Structure 1
Amino acid sequence: MRTLALLVINAGSSSVKFAVFAWPAHGDPQRQPLHEGEAIDAANGIAIRFDAAPERLLQNAPGEDPFRRALREIVDWTRERLPHLTLGAVAHRVVHGGAQYAAPVIVDAGVLGALRRLTPLAPLHQPHSLDAIALLRTAFAGVPQIAVFDTAFHRTLPHNEQLLPLPHAWFDKGVRRYGFYGLSYEYLSVALDETFGSRAQGRVIAAHLRGGASLCAMRALRSVATTMGFSALDGLMMGTRCGTLDPGAVLHLLDVEHLSHEALGRILYHESGLKGVSGISSDPRELLAREASGDARAHDALALYAHRIVREMGALAALLGGLDMLVFTAGIGEHCAALRERICAAFGWLGVELDPAANAANAHVISHASSAVTVVVEPTNEAWIAARDAIRLLHARQRHVAGM
């Protein structure tokens, strides 16, 4: 008997994550996918993994986009290795929904065109997501392709948090604070409520830390402030992205250093952050090792990274009027105890008291029992949120059709 299933594609700036979830007749899918894998940009190709099978390298072919090659491998895998499944829909994480899209949407040619016009706002991510949608619309003709948006969770931001200090006419044209990593924060809102109940309904700051990074302040598990704004370049210092930067420095690079638009974009998106300051790597694990051996630039990069996180967390705590819970998630947030320790050490004045043993073990709760602030390490599950929201959309459409 064939099982109805949904494929989730998360095409990022340097990887394509994918997962297959069973499609329930009613309610939400199980959180653990039936199958999953990842394709990662490597030095001479794409390293791809299906379930627990060993990783293999797809070498670059002349004139071929490596990510499209990876997507074709995923399509072939779905067809050939999963014959027991019937694909009912494909859900895609799309970073930017702009002012128009605040909820999941079935993608047709018109929606795809509207989303392509938002590419300048997320140039590292949007093209990969939309290429994936276009390719899978062709590969799985007739199967709904559903976009779920990282910006959607932040539509609860207060008006003054959405405004930018520019002439108001630009706000009406869509130049405003949107916020990102919404699928991750939406998952945290579900998981924290289940585990911590009323405490999670209070003043919460969530730190999504990986190659890209942001903070989200929540009250009643709804976004009330976030560090990323108009684009995914804003806010915290990241792996290769600069984060918040004096616009005068950008004008200087253009007017005095005479950088082209392309060269400037490459610096801000690909050559800044941990990689730029250290001159070594965007990976905190490598920088921690180099720092321990006395590398001054590795030390500077890590010190600035932690400093910028602490500075932004302090601002969000001020907006919340205090702090009840601090949550770390995503690759760095979940696995880098040394950075969590540096960040938490700055918030003793707020009542944060870390349990060193629990932190070193990446435990779920890493604060001491006497800590006024509960500090949590919560693995994120963006794929499940994408699957859940897509299935809810299609179930609602079925109910609407049935009721007509």
Structure 2
Amino acid sequence: MKILSVNAGSSSLKFQLLQMPEEFEIASGLVERIGNKNAEFKINFNGSSSKQSDLVVLDHSVAVDLVIKGLLEHKIISSLDEIQGVGHRVVQGGETFKESVVIDDDVVLKIAALNDLAPLHNPANIIGINAFRKAIPNVLHVAVFDTTFHQTMPEVNFLYGTPYEWYEKHGVRKYGFHGTSHQYVSEEAQKRLGKEESKIIVAHIGNGASVTAVLNGKSIDTSMGLTPLEGFPMGTRSGNVDPSIFQLMQQKEGYSLEKTLNELNKKSGYLGISGVSHDSRDIVSAANEGNHRAKLALDIQAKRIVDYIASYYVLLGGLDALVFTAGIGENAKEVRSLVCKRLEVLGIIIDDEKNNSRGDKEIQHKDSKVKIWVIPTNEEVMIARDVLRLQNSN
């Protein structure tokens, strides 16, 4: 069966067509700069790719049309009837959605009711859902939530030290994100360990980044919170800061709450500290050339990542495996090294030679007490698995 996994962002639409249950990628692609007159559409299939530039893509419905036409014109599918299910990534499920669900009009309304908890993400997710439901109406559509995997966190780990009424009235709590990635990678790690009782920490480090403690296959704590802003410094996000910053920036610079929040989300992290870029490749290059602020950006991030890993080591009562994943976790050997060198006191020892190679690998030193793995994530496969599961249960 062919299942389409969809990830709709505010200005992008990423997709992957998979043959299930074999989990074979038939095609994948991306529409970028939606809402502009210089959009791009790239599709990969059969070891080749096609790219269109300077397109007028004013909304997600146009992007969906591009995807469908691309699949048909390149003869990846002969008709839309071949697509038997569509899975949609949704960032915020709140406490409403404890698991993936079949989408109907009521589900769309409930997702929209959570927009305040994810104003940058959920509205775009809904636009993508509506566009695909209209284009491919007679198949199963499934919502897969970033937050679902973290619903197993206990209260002591997800509640903030704020008035309890904030939680009761407005859902103010830690939700966590990157759930499909953390679930996929931790399941792969658990298979490799060969035991159900396991203690795993997953470091999903990309432009957005989070660390999760996984006990016996269940998330028990994670670094992102009410929104993806909480945690450690990322590409453009600040991670944890003292909330008094909002008052200070208002007094000193006349910043509104919205402006300060925008700066913390889009102009901080690697970009804000280094003044060079939000891209780790640029940061590493600049640091190697002696740029102090670029090196500082790397060191600050590594230190804060280690703060979480060390805390979760204690929470889990030890550790079987530390796993790196996502764009930076999979490809930036320098970041992995900076993190692991600080963890040697816990018996987590990286092998520098093994760390230099690329791809899926085991990189711990022979004297390490903990496995260190690099496992490429595959959120699209996780989405397709849930579509298949719900398809079979209907």
- 2:26 maps to 1:34: yes
Question: Is 2:192 the partner of 1:195?
Answer: yes
Q: Which residue of 2 aligns with 1:396?
A: 393
Change (3 A) 1:394 1:230: same
Q: CA deviation at 1:330?
A: 0.7
Question: Contact (CA 8 Å) 1:48, 1:70: kept in 2 or not?
Answer: no
Task: Find the aligned partners of 2:280 and 2:197 in 1 and give their Cα distance.
Answer: 32
Q: Distance in 1 between matches of 2:184 and 2:19?
A: 18
Q: Does 1:293 align with 2:289?
A: yes
Structure 2 stretches of 5 or more lacking a match? none
Q: Which moved more, 1:107-116 or 1:350-359?
A: 107-116
Aligned twin of 2:339 = 343
Match of 1:269 in 2: 265
- 1:83 is aligned to 78
Q: TM-score, normalising length from structure 1?
A: 0.90
Give the corresponding residue for 1:400.
Answer: none
Counterpart-to-counterpart distance in 2, 1:13 and 1:241: 17
Superimposed CA distance per residue, residues 270-319 of structure 1 (whole angstroms, 9 cap, x where no aligned partner) = 11111111112111111111111121221121111111111221222222
Deviates more, 1:255-264 or 1:317-326: 255-264
Matches of 1:225 and 1:348, distance apart in 2? 22
Corresponding letter in the other structure for 1:53: S
Query: Distance between the aligned counterparts of 1:75 and 1:234, measured in 2?
Result: 36
* Partner SS for 2:194: helix
Assess if the C-alpha contact under 8 Å between 1:46 and 1:70 holds in 2.
no
Distance 1:125 1:46, change over 3 A: farther
Tell me if the contact between 1:95 and 1:151 (Cα under 8 Å) persists in the aligned partners: yes
CA distance in 2, matches of 1:154, 1:268: 24
SS in 2 for 1:231: coil
Identity of aligned residues (%): 35
In 2, Cα distance between equivalents of 1:48 and 1:294: 36
- What is the SS of the residue equivalent to 1:8? strand
Contact preservation (8 Å) 1:11, 1:93? yes
Cα RMSD (Å) of the superposition?
2.1
Aligned 1:314-353 pairs, distance under 5 A? 314-353=310-349
| Aligned position for 1:124 | 120
For residue 53 of structure 1, what is the aligned residue in structure 2? Answer: 48
3-state SS of 2:361 partner: coil
Which secondary structure does the structure 2 equivalent of 1:228 belong to? coil
- 1:108–1:180 distance in 2 versus 1, CA, 3 Å: same
Which of 43, 65, 71 matches 2:64?
71
Q: What residue identity is the alignment partner of 1:314?
A: A
TM-score normalised per structure 2: 0.92
Deviation at 1:211, TM superposition (A): 0.8
Structure 2 counterpart of 1:22: 19
What code does the residue aligned with 2:112 have? Answer: R
Q: CA deviation at 1:49?
A: 2.8
Identify the match of residue 133 of structure 2 among 134, 137, 142: 137
Q: Is the 8 A contact 1:354 1:371 kept in 2?
A: yes
Shift of 1:60: 5.0
The amino acid that maps onto 2:158 is Q
1:104–1:197 distance in 2 versus 1, CA, 3 Å: same
Go from structure 1 to structure 2 and tell me whether the alpha carbon gap of 1:134 and 1:390 turns closer, same or farther (over 3 Å shift).
same
**Structure 2 CA distance, aligned partners of 1:50 and 1:251?**
48
Give the partner amino acid of 2:63.
A
Classify the secondary structure of the residue corresponding to 2:237: coil
Q: Deviations over 1:114-161 (max 9, x none)?
A: 212322322332222211101111111222321001100011101111
1:385 maps to which of 377, 382, 387: 382
Q: Contact 1:41–1:47 at 8 Å: present in 2 too?
A: no
Q: What SS is found at the alignment partner of 1:247? A: coil
Amino acid corresponding to residue 18 of structure 2 in structure 1: F
